[in-house]
Amino acid sequence: MPAREPTSSDLTRRTFLRTGALTVGAVAASGIGVATAAPGGGKGGGGDKGGKGGGAMTNPLYLPPTLDPGAGLVTLTAAPGLVDLGPYNAASAWVYNGGMPGPTLEVSTGDTVQLRFQNDLPEGSITHWHGMVVDHDNDGHPNQEVEAGSHYDYAFPIVQRATMNWYHPHPHERTGKQVALGLAGAFIIRDAQEAALGLPAGVRELPLVIRDGDVDREGTAVIYKPKSSGYEGKKAFVNGTLEPYVEVDNALYRLRVLNGANGRIFRFAFADGRGMTLIGNDGGFLPAPETVTEIELSNGERLDLLVDLRDLDKNDTAMLVDRNSGWDLLEFRVVRSVNDTTLIPTSLPAPPAPLSDPVRTRTFSFDGMGKINGLEYAMERIDFEVPYGQTERWVLTTGGNAPHPVHIHGTYFQVVSRTGGRGQVFPWERGWKDTVLLQDGETVEILIRFDHGHKDLYLMHCHKLEHEDRGMMSNFLVV
């Protein structure tokens, strides 16, 4: 690929740095320092303020480019690269196609997607499409890990309705590290029912990959400091940007939110207490919209939210915060006054029919920091078999060391009840889910059925990635 040499006159500094990251691998390989390519000027290195504080945010929110693997082969190359975190404009990270997060993939129901994962990391990896209902060969199971320098090709039909899924590495025992170093991206599915709702779109629909992380003292590297109890970083990264703001109209916005953190649970709210209208979660639209002021979201879960900023005037701001850590996450800065007449829907496309009448019950206990039903994961062991097309009731419970966000590959499920602990099913847990949070003392009952055409090997695991890497994961076979 011929490297185009951008100049400061045709690209903003930030765009330059993001674009520059794409060619870092080649530049580094030729032994040329990357920093010399950066244009002069711009602001200084920035302080070490973390995500905390009540002050204005200082860095424009990064929005990854969009790619459509339904229109032809898309290659996702995972490699070391340099990213612009805002205050630190050339921090090393591990990135898909040069960005943190990687490109937003966007497809439509009925498409057949073609994706190549090219592994240019210094170690083995494999990419999993979290939330995509696919066969085993396309699922990015750890037994499909490819070594450094190799690739893995995927091709699968999109058989599910509109939602926001995501992609991330899934290699045996190194998922936590690879995600924390920067490898993840959003994967949006569109459909006709969604289009008919006339929801905010274009610049008024924001995919937000929200996680925590750490940067070294000099601001030159995204780093990972694992703990078996679960990694929690000192800073909030929203789309890879520290202390981000986004310039908006006083209009209705659609936020597509992913908790992309390894182990941190967020409790999202707006600092001014404004309502957020929940319209969807992991599995697409909810049965009905519901407005709430706080949402607890665990690792791997998604939200589809409408936030109304029409009460604000030019120069007003609204701050998305995390009530668990006390962090400010993202400042919405009104820069234009408009007359937006978009309606908030009062009803949503009906979800697939609810499951009922389970024919058997299985109980899974998430124990310690690395076991399910007393067993640590073994790649070659199949822990249970599930008959294809059979509705089952699975009881998920924990012996402690929560949170355990339980994630299941290969289908969606419904959350029926939660007893103990928080003792309720929350509005964002209605409809169809692929991940559900277990806190200490909680037992969650789900209904599940594998009926998407595949009798295959899948995974269930804790999505606190350090627990997953320590073995809180099971192989099961749909038969």
Question: What are the C-alpha distances in Å from 33 to residues 28, 221, 387?
Answer: 7, 15, 56
Torsion of CA 228, 296, 410, 116, to 10 degrees: -70
Nearer to ligand C2O, 170 or 256 (CB): 170
Contact partner, 467, from ligand C2O, Cu ion, none, Cβ < 5-8 Å per class: Cu ion
In whole angstroms, the minimum distance from the beta carbon of 293 to ligand C2O comes to: 28
Of 85, 109, 307, 115, nearest in space to 212 by CA: 85
Nearer to ligand C2O, 168 or 333 (CB): 168
Nearer to ligand C2O, 235 or 467 (CB): 467
In whole angstroms, the minimum distance from the beta carbon of 140 to Cu ion comes to: 8
Q: Which residues of 60-85 are buried (b: 16+ CB within 10 A; e: fewer)?
A: bbbbbeebebbeeebebbbbbbbbbb
Chain residues 126-155 in contact with Cu ion, contact rule CB under 5 A: 130
Nearer to Cu ion, 98 or 171 (CB): 171
In whole angstroms, the minimum distance from the beta carbon of 129 to ligand C2O comes to: 9
In whole angstroms, the minimum distance from the beta carbon of 168 to ligand C2O comes to: 6
In whole angstroms, the minimum distance from the beta carbon of 131 to ligand C2O comes to: 8
DSSP per-residue string spanning 410-457: SS-EEEEEEESTT-S--GGGSS-BSEEEE-TT-EEEEEE---SS---E
Among 113, 462, 465, 473, binds Cu ion (CB under 5 A): 462
**464: contact with Cu ion by CB under 5 A:** yes
Nearer to Cu ion, 8 or 229 (CB): 229
Contact partner, 462, from Cu ion, ligand C2O, none, Cβ < 5-8 Å per class: Cu ion
Element (H or E) spanning 475, and its range?
strand 473-478
Contact partner, 168, from Cu ion, ligand C2O, none, Cβ < 5-8 Å per class: ligand C2O
Quote the CA–CA distance of 13 and 84 in Å, as a whole number.
Answer: 10
What is the binding site for ligand C2O (CB under 6 A)? 128, 130, 168, 170, 300, 407, 409, 459, 461, 463
Quote the CA–CA distance of 159 and 189 in Å, as a whole number.
Answer: 10
> In the sheet where 371-372 sits, what is the strand order?
371-372, 360-367, 392-398, 443-448, 413-419
Nearer to ligand C2O, 130 or 136 (CB): 130
263, 232 Cβ separation under 8 angstroms: yes
In whole angstroms, the minimum distance from the beta carbon of 345 to ligand C2O comes to: 29
366, 396 Cβ separation under 8 angstroms: yes
Nearer to Cu ion, 57 or 180 (CB): 180
Quote the CA–CA distance of 357 and 304 in Å, as a whole number.
Answer: 29
Contact partner, 190, from Cu ion, ligand C2O, none, Cβ < 5-8 Å per class: none
Which residues contact residue 399 at a Cβ distance below 8 angstroms, ignoring those fewer than 6 apart? 365, 366, 367, 368
From residue 92 to residue 131, the character string flagging contacts with Cu ion as x (rule: CB under 5 A) and all else as - is: --------------------------------------x-
Nearer to Cu ion, 167 or 332 (CB): 167
Residue whose structure tokens are 């990959």? 209
Radius of gyration of the chain from its Cα atoms, rounded to whole angstroms: 21
Alpha helices (runs of H) in 134-284, residue ranges in sequence order: 175-180, 192-196
Element (H or E) spanning 236, and its range?
strand 235-238
In whole angstroms, the minimum distance from the beta carbon of 464 to Cu ion comes to: 4
From residue 387 to residue 426, the character string flagging contacts with Cu ion as x (rule: CB under 5 A) and all else as - is: -----------------x----x-----------------
Residues within the interface to Cu ion (CB under 5 A): 130, 404, 409, 462, 464, 467
